[in-house]
Structure 1
Amino acid sequence: MRQRTVFFILFYLTPFVLLAQIPYSQQKDASDVLRELFHIKKPRKSDSSSLKEGGRVIAILPTPGYAPQSGLFAQVVSNVTIRNTNANVSILNLVATFTEFRQSIFQYTTSYFTKDNRFYFSNDWRWMDYPQATYGLGMNTTRQNKTEMNFRYLRLYQTLMRSIGKNRYIGIGYQYDYHWHIESYAQGTRVEEISGYKMGVNGKSVSSGPTIAFLYDSRTNAMSATQGLYTNVVFRQNLKSLGSNTNYQSLLVDARKYFDLAGNTNHILALWSYNMFTHGNVPYLDMPSTGWDTNVNMGRGFIQGRFRGKNLMYLEAEYRFTLTRSHFIGGVLFSNIQTVSEITDNRFRKAIPAIGTGLRIRINKFSKANLAIDFAVGRDGSRNIYFNFGEVF
């Protein structure tokens, strides 16, 4: 009852709090609030400090938090936001995370546009020591029937793309997934298969292959988009000749659309569709799964790895709004639905939704970087809190 009341208040009252867009000098972020609290003199700067062409903003943020798959965690995020001449905003993130469940994660991601958007380079490099529960394959699994997996993981993804028209890019890349020291246990007993599947359940697994990618991106700021369309399509051919366990293919289709509802960036409707399809024999840990997108954001309401299968489809809608005139505090309402194919016949037979709400705290007003704190409830009875640096999508 309490959750319904909160949703009612946020949904029906928030749209009427229409706040006009104000200049950077009147906006506040975390550094402004800290200076006010500790009476630190504000340095001389004006709106010219905003992220204009040739500008660069650096933010280093130590963040305590919580995630269902890791418990309490301590995280340090180093974020560099760059805007080259006549180009979209580029983002470089370096993240180190240590968790209550003895997980260690080091990740470096780049989304970089050169001058005039002529070239686009992206990468996702990460090393993980990552014990985690898995719940089997398909949608007919339960949270109680889980298998504990221990593994280490090295991911090396990189793509280089060239502009072929306004907001359009095409390019090639290489992706490498290496899991080792894999051990799986159910109720303290080592298991050799999960949902009847053996490949990658123990020992090690490798997926390695070249990619062909197409990108359309009309957003001006990927850190906190207020308008535009993003569509990323990646075809990957894993090859035994490059070290992969098997020759198999995958296709990723990631699309996002943003609508400025009030014309002042204070009320945004964001839509997200994330889909991954595979063909062939895929190592268990390389199958598409809840929360295993690049930014580990897909599927709020469920624990990471909750649903896994050879194919995955996902939809989400999020309404973002400003709560304070200074833009320091904002909020969101969101809902999502996901499904994975069944391992027996490779068909989609069931979809499960989730709903949630959250707060946004402005960390840097020039790059519009936020600290996101969300609470979500999944249809299978799960409910969790999520922390994120930047918008979820």
Structure 2
Amino acid sequence: MNQLPALLFRTVLGALSLLLYFAAPAAAQHGSSEPDTTQPDTGIPQKDIFDVIYAVLKKERKDGGHKESQFSVIPGLSWAPQTGWSASLATVMAFRSPSAPRGQKTSNILAGISYTQYNQIILPVHVIHWTRNNRMNLVLNARYMRFPNKTYGLGPHTKASDVYTINFNYLKLHPTVLFRLRSNLYGGPIYFYDRFTRVTEVDPKPGVVTDFQKYGLQPSVTASGVGVRVLYDSRRSLIKPVNGWFASATVRINPTGLGSTNSWQSVVLEGRHYIPFPRKSRNILALWSYNWLTVGGGRPPYLLLPSNAWDDWHNTGRGYVQGRYRGRNLLFFESEYRMEFSRSGLLGGTVFANAQAYPENPLEGLGRVLPAVGAGIRIKLNKYSGTNIALDYGFGVNGSQAISMNLGEVF
């Protein structure tokens, strides 16, 4: 199916919903912390969508740039192949203490709710809090999903015709406490809790034993475990990184003694780097490596096996619908070039390319590599925090196409 009409629908309807919402008296956006000094000054006042709305309404906008918090809200009406039509409300808040010392990292809260044409409910909450002087990093990654979803089987050679629907309810709670070991280097424990209930196959082909059934279909399954994460993060902001490094290693152990249905282990290795290019411009070359590996002989639940767009931020594998490929291991790399089309920062865009592989044993080779390319537009939602509305279209092999929308950058 050609998804370009869907992209146009999404863009137009999203813009209309923004205009209707922000024109309302209850519209709220509250200030910011100190201006962005990490990028060259264009000499032109920066603008966001609120400046446009106020100009259209011929009203004066009070400058809240001296404040230490920013709060952005975006409602939307959108369409995607895995959800159909959906109505959503997303929020992002960035904040620092008014008395924060120089170099204090910005804390973030991102949350939302979506309800879709296929009766799917999605409730994500991400909290990233930095204590004073960046001594500790407190993170909560939580999500509830009632999510009829498509699955295609295991491995990189599945066909689009293999698709069928699975139903499940999903609760995810991953709290993390990281302590500063030295400048920008942190480490600490994580607790993992993932619970799937009411897991059923809806419309598999008659007479066909699915990969899910072969792997072990269970109506309910729990993964409860502990882990350790070590990360290095020299970025100033999560919402709009413009330079610096991010690298992390996460080990997860899920013993039956902690309530897991099966015993298994995994490792996630991730790296990101941001390079102003050209050096004195506001354009950014961003690089991302994400490697999700099952180690040992354990068997993770089918729905927790490495799969595209099932990372913590659900962003890997642009150009493919969520869950298009699934396997025991995932190796992923993406590069993206972010450009500002207007010197005011209101409009921008990106081009990206990525590749993913699902080798049974990474030490023996990658196997089939699945590439994708695409492009997107960026509209500045909050000029103080740097929050963009990101709308991307990508395509991969075998006719794969997908649209994705984010509040903030993809990585």
TM-score normalised by the chain length of structure 1: 0.88
Q: Please state how far the C-alpha of 1:190 moved relative to its aligned partner.
A: 9.2
1:107 pairs with one of 124, 128, 132: 124
- Aligned equivalents of 2:64, 2:139: Cα separation in 1: 32
- What value does the CA root-mean-square deviation take over the aligned residues? 2.1
SS in 1 for 2:53: helix
Pair 40,308 (structure 1): closer, same or farther in 2 beyond 3 Å: same
AA partner of residue 124 (structure 2): Q
Aligned partner of 2:241 in structure 1 is 225
Pair 346,107 (structure 1): closer, same or farther in 2 beyond 3 Å: farther
Aligned partner of 1:12 in structure 2 is none
- Aligned equivalents of 1:326, 1:264: Cα separation in 2: 16
Answering whether residue 42 of structure 2 is matched by residue 22 of structure 1, we say: yes
Q: Is the 8 A contact 1:56 1:83 kept in 2?
A: yes
AA partner of residue 194 (structure 2): D
- C-alpha offsets along residues 99-138 of structure 1, whole Å, 9 cap, x if unaligned? 1222101111111111110000111111100000101000
- C-alpha offsets along residues 333-355 of structure 1, whole Å, 9 cap, x if unaligned? 00000011249x99641111000
Pair 347,99 (structure 1): closer, same or farther in 2 beyond 3 Å: farther
Q: What is the percent sequence identity of the aligned residues?
A: 32
- C-alpha offsets along residues 40-86 of structure 1, whole Å, 9 cap, x if unaligned? 2222x37535xxxxx11111221222333212221111211013424
Q: Structure 1 stretch 334-343 or stretch 136-145: which is displaced more?
A: 334-343
AA partner of residue 89 (structure 2): V
Q: Please state how far the C-alpha of 1:261 moved relative to its aligned partner.
A: 1.3
Aligned partner of 1:132 in structure 2 is 149
Residue correspondence of structure 1 range 1-393 to structure 2 within 5 A: 21-22=41-42, 26-43=45-62, 45=63, 47-49=65-67, 55-84=68-97, 85-86=100-101, 87-187=104-204, 189=206, 193-194=210-211, 197-199=214-216, 201-264=217-280, 266-279=282-295, 280-342=298-360, 348-393=366-411
Q: Please state how far the C-alpha of 1:185 moved relative to its aligned partner.
A: 3.5
SS in 2 for 1:48: coil
AA partner of residue 315 (structure 1): F
- Aligned equivalents of 2:324, 2:365: Cα separation in 1: 18
Q: Is the 8 A contact 2:92 2:407 kept in 1?
A: no
Pair 371,208 (structure 1): closer, same or farther in 2 beyond 3 Å: same
Aligned partner of 2:18 in structure 1 is none
SS in 2 for 1:380: helix
The runs of 5 or more residues in structure 1 that have no matched partner are 4-18, 50-54
TM-score normalised by the chain length of structure 2: 0.85
- Aligned equivalents of 1:20, 1:294: Cα separation in 2: 32
Pair 60,207 (structure 1): closer, same or farther in 2 beyond 3 Å: same
**Larger relative strand fraction:** 1
- Aligned equivalents of 1:160, 1:118: Cα separation in 2: 11
- Aligned equivalents of 1:190, 1:90: Cα separation in 2: 52
The runs of 5 or more residues in structure 2 that have no matched partner are 5-38
Q: Structure 1 stretch 133-142 or stretch 32-41: which is displaced more?
A: 32-41
- Aligned equivalents of 1:282, 1:132: Cα separation in 2: 19
Q: Please state how far the C-alpha of 1:383 moved relative to its aligned partner.
A: 1.3
- Aligned equivalents of 2:61, 2:187: Cα separation in 1: 45
Q: Please state how far the C-alpha of 1:263 moved relative to its aligned partner.
A: 3.9
Pair 194,347 (structure 1): closer, same or farther in 2 beyond 3 Å: farther
- Aligned equivalents of 2:207, 2:52: Cα separation in 1: 52
- Aligned equivalents of 1:380, 1:282: Cα separation in 2: 28
Pair 91,262 (structure 1): closer, same or farther in 2 beyond 3 Å: same
Aligned length: 367
